Amino acid sequence: MLGKLLKFDLKYGMKIFLLLHGILIVISLLGRFLFLDQLNFNEPDAALVSSVALFAAAIIFLLMAVCFCTWMIIAFRFYRNLFTGEGYLTWTLPASGVQHLWSKIISGSILFLLDCIIEGGCVLLLVTGCNVTEAYSVIAPDVNSELGMTLSTFALILFVIMLISGPVSVIQTYFCIAIGQLFPAHRLLGAIAAYFISSFLIQLLSFGLQIGIGLFPEYILIGPTDTADQVGTYLFTTMGYSTVMMIVIAILQYIAVHYIMQKKINLL
C-alpha cells in the first residue's frame, strides 16, 4: 500500500514541478551561452560589474523562488490530503497513519532532492564557462587560503549538506502543519507560529551549543587572526554539529507528527 500511496503523492504537483524546473534550466542555458560566455573579464569596468551583479541577483532570486515553490507543493499535498475534507477519503483507505506519513516524507524528500540536484546542476552550468573559470583563477589562491580548501570542495560539501537537509526540512514542514491543525479556527496561523517558534528554538539551541563546546569564532569577538584556514574550519565544524543537531530534532519532530496523526487528527 505504501508504494501506491507514494505513486499518487509523487504525481501531485509534478506538472508544476517540471514546468518550474524546465524554465530554470532554459534560463540557465540562455544565461550561460548568451550572457556569461560573451563577457570579457580581462577588461573589467563599472558596467561589467553592475551587469554581473544584477545577473547574479536575478539568478539567486530565481533559484530561491523555484525552491520555495517546491516546498509549497510538498506542504500543500500534506495538508490538503490529510487535514482537509479530502482527508475523509484518505483516511478510509486501507493504510495506517504510519504509511501515510512515510509516503509523504519519501515523496517530499524525493522532490527536494531533485530540486537540489537540478538547481546545483544549473549553478554548475553557469560557472563553468571558460571566461568565468579564467577570471576566477586570478583570485582562487586567496579564496582557497581563506576557506582552507578549494572552492569546488567547499561547494561539494555544501551540496551534500543540502541533500541531507532536504528530508529534515520536509519533516519540519509536516511538524508545523500538524501542530497548526490542532487549532481549527487558526490553522494557518498556528502552522506559521509553530514554524517560527521551532526555528527560533533551533537557532537558540545551536548558538548555545557553539558557546558550550567552544565553537564560537574568536575572530568575531577580537578581530581577524593569522590563521589562514580559520574561516573554513569554523564553517565546517559548526555545519557538522548543526547537521547532527538537525537530524536529532527531525527525529523528535517525526515522533510528534506520528503521535498527532495517530491521536489528534482534526479534519475540516
Sequence length of the chain is 268
**Cβ contact 50:92 at 8 Å:** no
- Model pTM? 0.84
187/189 Cα distance (integer angstroms): 6
Sequence-distant (≥ 6) Cβ neighbours of residue 193 within 8 angstroms: 180
Q: 239 is written with which cell numbers?
A: 555545519
Q: Would you write out the chain's pLDDT as a tens digit for each of its 268 residues?
A: 778 888 888 888 889 999 999 999 999 999 999 988 888 777 667 677 788 889 999 999 999 999 999 999 999 999 888 888 787 788 788 888 888 889 999 999 999 999 999 999 999 999 988 888 888 888 888 888 877 778 888 888 888 888 888 899 999 999 999 998 888 778 888 888 888 888 888 778 777 776 766 655 554 444 444 444 556 666 767 777 777 888 888 899 999 998 888 877 766 5
Cell of 43: 577588461
What letters, b where the CB count within 10 A reaches 16 and e where it falls short, cover 87-100?
beebeeeebebebb
> b/e for 144-163, b at 16 or more Cβ within 10 A?
beebbbeeeebeebebebbe
Alpha carbons 28 and 148: distance in angstroms, whole number:
30
Only one residue has cell 509523487, namely 10
The gap from C-alpha 56 to its chain's centroid, in whole angstroms, comes to 19
- 59 contacts 126 by C-beta, under 8 angstroms: yes
Distance CA 95, CA 249 (A): 27
* Strands (DSSP E) found in 9-166: none
